């Protein structure tokens, strides 16, 4: 939320960038579920690795949540593994203002990271994509 996403044009030119979307009104999980369903994949993400603004958990604990958060989860929650309320409220928050979610082939990660550094963009690996499995949720969230 604190950086412009103009870097997307440079990322799109890199070998190994397989999918990319700005994370806006559907929240992180909504956009990730669209990538997974459109690609016949599933995702495993690590909640602690998801970047967030300082103090956001305090606002969540105080009940300062946009109404769209619950509506988002109602729309795609059936695709997501069980998680606690704080995780759900952060990962479904519609106030994400255009950060980028990028799927990168592991063998090309160094070039991707070099491009991000060259543009002074901080990135975080939050998980990985795997082949879809009808026995597992489309997205699994671990602490």
The full DSSP string for the chain is --S-STTHHHHHTSTTEEEEEEE-TTHHHHHHHHHHHHHTEEEEEEGGGS---TTHHHHHHTT---HHHHHHHHHHGGGB----HHHHHHHT-S--TTEEEEEE-GGGHHHHHHHHHHTT------EEEEE--TTS-SEEEE-
- Please give the model's pTM, rounded to 2 decimal places: 0.92
User: pLDDT tens across 24-37, in order?
Assistant: 899 999 999 999 99
- For β-strands 139-142 and 41-46, DSSP reports them as parallel
Q: Which structural domains are found in the chain, ordered by start? A: 8-142 (3.90.650.10)
User: pLDDT tens across 38-67, in order?
Assistant: 999 999 999 999 998 899 999 999 999 998
């Amino acid at each position: 939320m604190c950086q412009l996403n103009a870097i997307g044009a440079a990322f799109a030119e890199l070998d190994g960038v397989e999918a990319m979307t700005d994370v806006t009104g559907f929240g992180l999980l909504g956009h990730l579920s669209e990538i997974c369903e459109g690609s016949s994949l599933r995702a495993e993400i690590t909640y602690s690795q998801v970047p967030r603004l300082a103090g956001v958990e305090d606002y969540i604990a105080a009940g300062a949540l946009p109404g769209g958060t619950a509506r988002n989860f109602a729309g795609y929650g059936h695709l997501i593994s069980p998680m606690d309320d704080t995780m759900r409220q952060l990962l479904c928050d519609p106030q994400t203002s255009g950060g980028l979610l990028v799927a990168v082939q592991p063998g090309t990660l160094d070039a991707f990271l070099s491009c991000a550094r060259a543009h002074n963009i901080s990135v975080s690996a939050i998980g990985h994509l795997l082949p879809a499995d009808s026995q597992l949720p489309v997205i699994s969230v671990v602490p």
